[in-house]
Amino acid sequence: MFPAIEPYARGWVENPERDSIYWETSGNPDGVPVLWLHGGPGSGLGSGGYRKRYDPDAFRLVGIDQRGCGRSTPSVVDALDRLPANTTEGLIADIELVRAELGIDRWVVTGGSWGSTLALAYALAHPERVTGIVLGAVTTTGRDEVDWLTETMGRVFPEAWEALERSSHRRPGERVIEAYARVLATGTLEERIAAADAWDDWEATHVSLDPNAVPGPLHTDPAQRLVFATLVTHYWANDGFLPGDRAILRRVEELAHIPAVLIHGRHDVSGPVITPWLLHRKWPASRLIVVESEGHGGPQSSELMAEAISGFAR
């Protein structure tokens, strides 16, 4: 890992839907361009801890707050009428707007958790813009992955899942994730806050098996909880807005020529290691690193990401 640094430039670009998309650049203005895609959806860039994974002398690092969250405006909770336009296709278009704004031709694409799904979707849409890929806590947001997270994992955490299901107020035939997405998009403010709190309790249950884990701002700030829950349930209820079952896995061979490193914790119950393992099997230029002692990310995974990213320096 590298010392904490601050951005040397930041700004906003406006997309056709009139969202203002926040971007920031750090490190060496003449370095190898590299993009970081945050998780969630809806986590935002946060306070910038992600920058420690990148050698500030070697890379020109770009971070983006995805539409509807972070410093991008409007916030999803202030503009729920825009939610139908908040899709993976839209996020990919926003990335391209930022790339063009910054005059970058090609870049290394990196991401974690949901950011790994978005990174893969972006690479499939614009392979000519991607020189390499480094991903942590790898997911592709397929229907089976979402159902594992929101239904089947109740077999691992039955007490917490019972509370999640009870608070969903789901209708007959409705999946738990669909119920939360509906309430968070159309409910009263009181109903939305209650749903966000219940969703956050479930997230806190499964995202870390470490009993000493310290909750971040997403779990302690009510406003951020509402943004996060609204966006993550919106995307998950729609299978990440990716067409067909296991859309990314079915097409990953199109990325066969792009070098990649996939880093994943063996004990990641949020996203079992089967997903990066299946990707790796169909991706000759990829390398899979399984961290035996960690779950959905962790200090060793972050160190390994930093090492893998440094491998793409000139």
Residue 65 is a catalytic residue:
no
Catalytic residue (choose from 168, 268, 270, 301): 268
Q: Cis peptide before 217, with omega less than 30 degrees from 0? A: no
Residue 38 is a catalytic residue:
no
HEC profile of the chain: CCCCCCCCEEEEEECCCCCEEEEEEEECCCCEEEEEECCCCCCCCCCCHHHHHCCCCCEEEEEECCCCCCCCECCHHHCHHHHHHCCHHHHHHHHHHHHHHCCCCCEEEEEECHHHHHHHHHHHHCHHHEEEEEEECCCCCCHHHHHHHHCHHHHCCHHHHHHHHHHHCCCCCCCHHHHHHHHHHHCCHHHHHHHHHHHHHHHHHHCCCCCCCCCCHHHHCHHHHHHHHHHHHHHHHCHHHCCCCCHHHHHHHHHCCCCEEEEEECCCCCCCCHHHHHHHHCCCCEEEEEECCCECECHHHHHHHHHHHHCCCC
Residue 286 is a catalytic residue:
no
- Kindly report the backbone phi and psi dihedral angles of residue 288, in degrees, each rounded to the nearest multiple of 5, phi listed first: -105, 125
Catalytic residue (choose from 116, 296, 301, 302): 296
The residues that bridge with 35 in the sheet, in sequence order, are 62, 109
Contact 59, 31 (CB under 8 A): yes
Catalytic residue (choose from 113, 270, 286, 301): 113
Hey, which residues are catalytic here? 113, 268, 296
